[in-house]
Amino acid sequence: MRSEPKNLRSDIEGLRALAVGAVVLYHAHFLAMQGGFIGVDVFFVVSGFLITNLLITEHARNGRISFANFYARRVRRLLPASAVVIVGTVIAGRYWLEPLRLRDLGTDAIAGSMFVANFVFADRGTDYLQSALPPSALQHYWSLAVEEQFYMVWPALLAVLLWRTRTPIRRATIGISLLVVVSFAVCIWQTSAAQPWAFFGSHARAWELGVGALLALSWKRIAAVRQDIRTTVAWLGLAMIIVGVFVLHEQMRFPGYIALLPVIGTAFVLMGGDTATRGPVLILRHPLLQYVGARSYSLYLWHWPVLIIGEAALDHSPNALERIGLIAISVVGAELSYRFVENPIRHSRQLSGKRTLSLSLGALLVVAGVSAGVLLRNNDVALSSGEAAERPVIDSTTLPPTTSPSPSTTATATPEATTTLPTETTVPGPPPPVASPTETPAAILESIATEKVPSNLEPSLGRALIDRPKLYDNGCHLSADAVTPRECVSGDVTSDFTVALFGDSHAAQWFPALDNVARSRGWKLLTFTKSGCAPIEVITYNSMVGATYPQCAPWREAVKAEMTKAKVSLVVMSYSNRLLDVNTRQPFPDNVWSEGFATLIPELRALGAESLLITDTPYPGKDIPICLSDNISRVANCVFSRSEGIRATRHDTNVAAAVDNGAQFLDVSNWVCGPETCPVIVGNILVYRDSNHITTTYAQWLAPLVDAAISPYVDALRQRTKVS
């Protein structure tokens, strides 16, 4: 995270200390430094300034830039400590992280060693299935990757801009200014369109390094400005950084325009110089800041894996005292790394005069990091107890009473074999209500006491994340950026009676059960689901696309048009009741759901469709497969209480929203939880594929219960529709 000039500037060393301190305290949740992440932006500007100054000085002195010398210096400066932390993190992770996290950590070690970690984390951040996973112990390597990519191209770019011209600085300034403008524009656009790529992407961060570069190119003119003016500007810059650390927060669209605050602030501080008698350097040259600044690179590398792996080792979220202890461990690691790895290799006389040897060392360090990652990825870890469990059986006494034929338990039954509807001349009475379960099936109650992960678990822990509805693979479940619903027809595709599934991923998780029921009952099923989009008209926060999620509104309008065209008779809706408000990034208050459905349900009825709301599934509060991978013989450590998983007021509000507006509801809580406890394995079936979605296997197992609960109502509605 740093670059070393020949003549060390104490203001820069102090800035590094402030930057790394802000990052560490932010990650450790101390001192209300909710904007401490901007410390990385400070590092970017400083690096752009120092590296550009080094290269243009070399070009002015020698008439050329030596790429070999430059990369040899970068290798000695960055890679030894980086490789030690990667290998150390892999070893520590193997002992203390949950086994199911190790494969991703191996991938991250490979990416970090090969300077592409930022692309891995950007892609992971825009993947709905992975975006909620626990953070990687090497996630902080994204910023190092941005700088390393900068180092890969910057010498060549400057060499071209400075080549054969009488005004090399002027041409370089114009060229880099254009780069800054383009990169900043991309950053602003992508912060709204796909925030993870704006945050992690080198293309959207290049302007920050470019601002530092422009400062270096303009230094002669800056130095000619009166010192008192530069001093005032520098104090203003320091104030901007401090304000940013305490005022900015994750709820804001970052980086985007907001990143101007720390970037311009850092540039202003640098403009003050190191010789001002009344500038911020009076503070920045304090011995403590100089000490921390000298070790800022090692401290940055060590603090994050210590915090992440430390939390896993403690097996709970650390309290304040424990977090202080983890920071202390980071400081010790940084000191040892600085004294015995970073400085000795960086200043080695044997290496400094031998470029080939330095570059060879770099190659070996890359290989070491990659090898550690490969070994971890291919490390075999037991993910079951070795003991098989019986497949659970649904107790017929828990099936709701129904006037329809007995529900089919297979997906291959034909409509003619399972459905007998009244004749068209029969005057239908009012449809019987949907029968929500009042008791928990015996198989679920018995599974609360499960102690071990069975060897025949379906799906296995390793395959849990991909045990998802086929909607994800055939493109019917829309990703964050899509707004046009696809024509996705299932169930009995020849039927003249159409049911639609409408909502977010918590609606999509019910598709396997509804598809089984629709095929057995002779209903056509249309699917309209989209990640993170509620059926009601709300604007949600979504980290995959930015602070706001503008794609939901046009998608909803398009869905309503499609349902009208398809003459949908029943809309089955489900949704996460923990979707986040843009302004607060907290779940929407209850009245938002009440008001939203008070508008939506009559609107759908006016289009000719009745509504059926499926309540949200309980939230375990942890990623269940990851938890189980670390508790193979202690499954009880992963179960959760009903009161924790179900927010009673939200649950009741959503039920009331259906009742108050003449719609039907299906309360599924008793199909996931007992009276007090919610199991995570039922028989040999894994209930959750992540921290909040049930597995496709479990949804299919529940299909007979879903059938018995809703089919009498739906079949009666179908007959009423046919007669009318």
pLDDT beyond 70 at 509: yes
| Domain spanning 433-439+466-622+644-670+695-723: CATH 2.30.110.10 | no
Domains of the chain by residue range: 10-377, 433-439+466-622+644-670+695-723
pLDDT at 502 over 90: yes
**pLDDT score, position 164:** 86
At residue 712, the 3 state secondary structure works out as helix
pLDDT of 195 > 70? The answer is yes
Strand partners, 570: 499, 610
Average pLDDT over residues 107-131: 86
At 228-282, the pLDDT tens digits run 999 999 999 999 999 999 999 877 889 999 999 999 999 999 999 988 889 999 9
- Rounded to two decimals, what is the model's pTM? 0.88
Distance, CA of 9 to CA of 136 (rounded, Å): 34
Per-residue pLDDT of 632-649, as tens digits, reads 999 999 999 999 999 999
Continuous H helices in 448-510: 505-508
Residue 401 has pLDDT above 80, yes or no: no
**Per-residue pLDDT, 406:** 34
* Cα(269)–Cα(49) distance, integer angstroms: 12
pLDDT over threshold 70, residue 291: yes
User: What are the counts of helices (DSSP H) followed by strands (DSSP E) for the chain?
Assistant: 30, 11
At 157-180, the pLDDT tens digits run: 999 999 988 899 999 999 999 999
Model pLDDT for residues 402-456, shown as the tens digit of each residue? 433 333 333 333 333 344 444 555 556 688 999 999 999 999 999 999 999 999 9
Over 238-257, what HEC string results?
A: HHHHHHHHHHCCCCCCCCHH
What is the predicted pLDDT for the residue at 78? Answer: 96
Kindly write down the DSSP assignment for every residue of 11-43, as one continuous string: HHHHHHHHHHHHHHHHHTT-TT-TTGGGHHHHH
Q: Check residue 398 and give its pLDDT.
A: 57
Whole-number pLDDT of residue 723: 63
Give the bridge partners for 527, in sequence order: 501
**Contact criterion met (CB below 8 Å) for 456 and 473:** no
Per-residue pLDDT at 538 exceeds 70? yes
What percent of the chain clears pLDDT 70, i.e. is strictly above it? 93
Q: φ and ψ at 553, to 5 degrees? A: -60, -50
pLDDT over 90 at 3, yes or no: no
Instruction: Give residue 584's pLDDT.
Output: 82
* pLDDT confidence bin for 397, thresholds 50/70/90: low
Note the pLDDT of residue 580. Answer: 87
Q: Is the pLDDT of residue 124 over 90?
A: no
Query: Is 713 a residue whose pLDDT tops 80?
Result: yes
Per-residue pLDDT, 353: 81
